[in-house]
Amino acid sequence: MKRLVTTLLVLIGLSTGAAMAGSTYPDIPKAVGAPHPEGNDYMRLNHMRLLRHDRNLTVHDGDRSIKYSIKECVACHAVMGPDALPISVQEKGHFCRNCHEFAAVKIDCFQCHNSKPEDGFIDLLKQNPPATDDEIQAYLDGMSQ
């Protein structure tokens, strides 16, 4: 019995020691532009499949008129740095980086692709003001019906 209690105390001590300060969930930066019609939950689980599927369509089959483009992902989800210009995946706070670091999943997209929006897409960002909380709430209400 004494041994059991000691072990329990050690166990609790260890877990408390592991309890470091700080949030246990990555910060997900807000995107500009219309929300995904599939919903955020769907995109969180399946974005990698959509990207891979389209990679195969474009690279293997030569179809360049596909629904999703990594250029658009990067544009809508751009995070601005202190100089008000989009930051690259090399910098902390990049949209893809936060969650991927949390889950320890490597991104190989940006070995070839640009992680910052291209010039044409930056203009697009300027035309579309960021979605307000009300707009997003309205969209989510619409989704749940």
Partner 1 sequence: MLSTLYAVLFYVATIILVVGTGMKVARYARTPAPLKIPVSPAPRTKRGVWFRMFREVAFFQSLFKSNRWIWIFAVLFHFGMLLVLLRHLRYFTQPVWWWVDLIQPIGVYASFAMLAGLGGLLLRRIVVPRIRYISNPSDYLMLALFLGIVLSGMSMKFLMPVDILGVKQFFLGLMRFQINELPTQPGVLIHLALVATLMIIFPISKLLHAPGVFFAPSRTQVDNARKFRHLSAWAKQLPPLPEGIPEPEEGK
The residue from 1, 15, 83, 134 that contacts partner 1 (CB under 8 A) is 15
Our CB check for partner 1 shows the closer of 20 and 84 to be 20
Establish if 45 lies at the interface with partner 1 (CB under 8 A): yes
The stretches of 1-145 forming alpha helices (DSSP H) are 2-18, 40-55, 61, 70-76, 95-102, 119-127, 133-144
Establish if 1 lies at the interface with partner 1 (CB under 8 A): no
**Which single residue is written with the structure tokens 């995946």?**
89
- Minimum CB–partner distance for residue 68 and partner 1 (Å): 16
Q: First-to-last CA distance in the chain?
A: 56
Our CB check for partner 1 shows the closer of 66 and 105 to be 105
Beta bridge partners of 80: 86
The stretches of 34-108 forming alpha helices (DSSP H) are 40-55, 61, 70-76, 95-102
Our CB check for partner 1 shows the closer of 22 and 142 to be 22
Nearest Cα to Cα of residue 116 among 133, 135, 144, 95: 95
Which pair of structure tokens corresponds to residue 76? 């809508």
* Interaction residues for partner 1, span 73-112 (CB under 8 A): 99, 101-106
Establish if 25 lies at the interface with partner 1 (CB under 8 A): yes
Establish if 56 lies at the interface with partner 1 (CB under 8 A): no
Footprint on this chain of partner 1 (rule: CB under 8 A) = 3-4, 7-8, 11, 15-16, 18-20, 22, 24-26, 41, 44-46, 48-49, 99, 101-106
